Amino acid sequence: MNAPRSLSRLEFEPLPDSSSGMVELSRSPERGFFVAAARDIFLAFRSKGEVIQALVFFIVVVSLFPLAIGAETALLRRIAPGVVWVAALLSVLLTLPRLFASDHLDGTLEQMLLSPFPLTLIVAGKMAAHWLTTGLPLALMAPLLGLQFGLGGDELGVLVMSLLLGTPILSMLGAVGAALTLGVRGGSVLVALLILPLYIPVLIFGAGAVEAVATGIDYAANLSLLGAGLLFGALATPFAVAAAVKISLD
Amino acid sequence: MNLYKYASPVTFYPLAGKLIPWFAALAVVFGLVGLYLGLIVAPEDAQQGQVYRIIFIHVPTAWVGMVVYLVMAAYGVAALTLKTRLSSMMMEALAPTGALFTALALLTGALWGKPTWGTYWIWDARMTSTLILLFLYIGYIALIHAIEDKKRADKAGALLVIVGSVNVPIIYFSVRWWNTLHQGASVSATGSKMATVMAQGMLIMALACWMYAIAVVLARVRAIILERQYQGANEILGFEIAGTEMTGTEMVGTK
């Protein structure tokens, strides 16, 4: 089998030659995960604009709500978990095309398909990188927005925890939609239509956890369910995404 | 009998043609009996009066709307594993019917809710999850129509419905739980034992809906088979001069 020397034009210590490359592959197929993740993170930092844009979008959307609804503290505290979560959902949705679209356009995705590394691990790496450059910044920014909405210390802590557990699921499910709609006209609206209904449980449990703290109910159940979703998603979605990529490149 | 024989669109096409009148006739018979039981024989409800009679159409449409999605998921698994072209065509044929029944369930539910609960819509767990189910149908239909390459559209749709069907129970339970957190189980259909005649009427109406759904889906899948044969043949022959293309029926052979 003819192994491509690296995953893209960007050089990541190319395999010395194809025969020893195969030996190395048989020892560590998981390297596909790390190479793909490192490459996407590297690319995201090369064009910082996209990462920052999603974050700014998140902040702007959240800031619109007090202007639309009114600045009563009690009301804002009440709606804060839902507003922050819906805004997080939308900004993750906006960044989904980044996952595969440019790699699809310049042919990198086909090279990944041809590479000796399992496609499942490569897409898992891309999903991890997507979360690290979208979900994680959102979760870290959320306490500041929560403060503006008058949330207290406990609620802010649970808000961050729920986002840390929930946003990876958004990246995973979103990757399925992004892979299915590769190169389809009107793709971004279509992704929203396909994926938003599937996001509903994450939204319910995520916002529900924060609301539970606010009303003095035990919030652990919500976080446990998010955690369960995260594990199940991590197990199942790479296979679904790999299948979707193969369908789209067929 | 070799059932796989009918996995081929060319052999399934005449079979479907033969089955359609039977299912259509059964739908009419069951529909008439069900409506007779529901509207004339069944007594007035002690609490709700005449209004409750909408359940004879509401409950069956909700059943069909939900089950059709699962049937689609089963066809999706078949389409991706056995690579049968007919499975994808069945999915495409089922989706509009599923969406229609789901929409009817929502509509009849709203019409029943107004006189009974005093509002067309509440964020009840069942209504909310039915609404989400309608979104899932619309998403599938939008996806397969947005992708121009039919083969790819088939596979992408199958994968989407499978992923969706894994999510359906999660969505249902999350919504139910969210609902109890928010407003408590204040409204629910009267849990009293239903009179036998009402249950019978509902069951027969459900059969009527099923027979109708099957007849319509078979008719639609026949149209899809013809369309695809027609497109496929013209692509192969490479001409599309008006009047010279073969019509779909010529290729499949009329029944």
pLDDT by residue (tens digit) across A136-181? 999 999 999 998 888 888 889 999 999 999 999 999 999 999 999 9
pLDDT surpasses 90 at A1: no
The H or E element spanning position B141 is helix B125-146
Out of B139, B170, B174, closest to residue A194 by CB: B139
Q: Residues A115-125: pLDDT tens digits? A: 888 899 999 99
Tokens 């998921």 -> residue: B73
CB A80 within 8 A of CB A151: yes
Mean pLDDT in residue range A201-209: 91
Q: Is some CB atom of chain B closer than 8 A to the CB atom of A186?
A: yes
Instruction: Provide the pLDDT for residue B255.
Output: 42
- The 8 Å CB, 24+ separation contacts for B143-151 are B143/A180, B143/A181, B143/A190, B143/A194, B144/B92, B144/B95, B146/A181, B146/A184, B146/A185, B146/A186, B146/A187, B146/A190, B147/A184, B150/B228, B150/B231, B151/A250
Residue A244: closest CA among chain B residues belongs to which residue? B156
CA atoms within 13 A on the CB side of A164: 10
Out of B80, B146, B167, closest to residue A190 by CB: B146
Residues in chain A: 250
Residues of chain A in contact with residue B166, where contact means CB-CB under 8 angstroms, are: 236
Residues of chain B in contact with residue A185, where contact means CB-CB under 8 angstroms, are: 146
Q: Is some CB atom of chain B closer than 8 A to the CB atom of A248?
A: yes
The residue among B147, B150, B171 with the most chain A CBs within 10 A of its CB, best to mutate, is B147
The percent of residues in chain A predicted with pLDDT above 90, rounded, is 44
Give the distance, in angstroms, between the CA of residue A114 and the centroid of all CA atoms in the same chain: 25
- The whole-angstrom distance between A87's CA and the closest CA on chain B is 19
Q: Do A197 and B175 touch (CB under 8 A)?
A: no
CA pair distance B176, B160, nearest whole angstrom:
24
Give SS3 for B35.
helix
Q: Is some CB atom of chain B closer than 8 A to the CB atom of A166?
A: no
Please name the residues in contact with A224: beta carbons below 8 A apart, sequence gap of 6 or more: none
CA pair distance A49, A63, nearest whole angstrom:
21
CA pair distance B30, B32, nearest whole angstrom:
6
DSSP state of B45: B
If one counts every other C-beta atom within 10 angstroms of the C-beta of residue B128, the result is 20
Q: Do B171 and A201 touch (CB under 8 A)?
A: yes
Out of B143, B152, B163, closest to residue A190 by CB: B143
B154: exposed, middle or buried (Cβ count in 10 Å: 0-12, 13-18, 19+):
buried
pLDDT surpasses 90 at A72: no
CB A92 within 8 A of CB A219: no
Mean pLDDT in residue range A229-239: 93
Listed residue (A35, A45, A198) closest to A126, CA to CA: A35
Instruction: Provide the pLDDT for residue B10.
Output: 84
Instruction: Provide the pLDDT for residue B251.
Output: 52
CB B188 within 8 A of CB A214: no
Tell me the residue type at A112.
Answer: M
Low-confidence ranges of chain B (pLDDT < 50): 183-189, 191-192, 241-245, 248, 254-255
Q: Do A204 and B177 touch (CB under 8 A)?
A: yes
Residues of chain B in contact with residue A208, where contact means CB-CB under 8 angstroms, are: 177-178, 181
Tell me the residue type at B50.
Answer: Q
Query: A153-180 and A119-133 are packed helices; what angle lies between their axes, rounded to 10 degrees?
Result: 140
Instruction: Provide the pLDDT for residue B93.
Output: 94
CA pair distance A83, B170, nearest whole angstrom:
22
CA pair distance B137, B135, nearest whole angstrom:
5
CA pair distance B198, A29, nearest whole angstrom:
62
Residue A212: closest CA among chain B residues belongs to which residue? B181
Residue burial A163-199, b: 16+ Cβ < 10 Å; e: rest:
bbbbbbbbbbbbbbbbbbbbebeebeebbbbbbbbbb
CA pair distance B16, B221, nearest whole angstrom:
9
**Which parts of chain A fold into alpha helices (H)?**
18-27, 31-46, 48-69, 73-105, 108-114, 119-133, 135-148, 153-180, 187-214, 220-249
Q: Do A184 and B177 touch (CB under 8 A)?
A: no
Listed residue (B72, B246, B88) closest to B162, CA to CA: B72
Q: Do B167 and A201 touch (CB under 8 A)?
A: yes
Please name the residues in contact with A36: beta carbons below 8 A apart, sequence gap of 6 or more: A7, A112, A117, A121, A122, A123, A124, A125, A126, A129
Give SS3 for B49.
strand
The rounded radius of gyration (Å) of the Cα atoms in chain B is 21
Q: Output the CA–CA distances (angstroms, integers) from residue A105 to A101, A246, B24, B126, in the order listed.
A: 6, 15, 49, 43
Please name the residues in contact with A85: beta carbons below 8 A apart, sequence gap of 6 or more: A162, A163, A166, A203, A206, A207, A210
Phi, psi of A115, deg, nearest 5: -65, 155
pTM over 0.80: yes
CA pair distance B95, B93, nearest whole angstrom:
6
> ipTM score of the complex?
0.81
CA pair distance B63, A41, nearest whole angstrom:
47
The residue among A79, A182, A190, A194 with the most chain B CBs within 10 A of its CB, best to mutate, is A194
The rounded radius of gyration (Å) of the Cα atoms in chain A is 20
Q: Is some CB atom of chain B closer than 8 A to the CB atom of A208?
A: yes
Size of interface A-B (CB pairs under 8 A): 75
Out of A180, A190, A197, closest to residue B135 by CB: A197
More confident residue, A15 or B205: B205
CB B66 within 8 A of CB B99: no
CA pair distance B158, A177, nearest whole angstrom:
13
The token duo for A146 is 């929560």
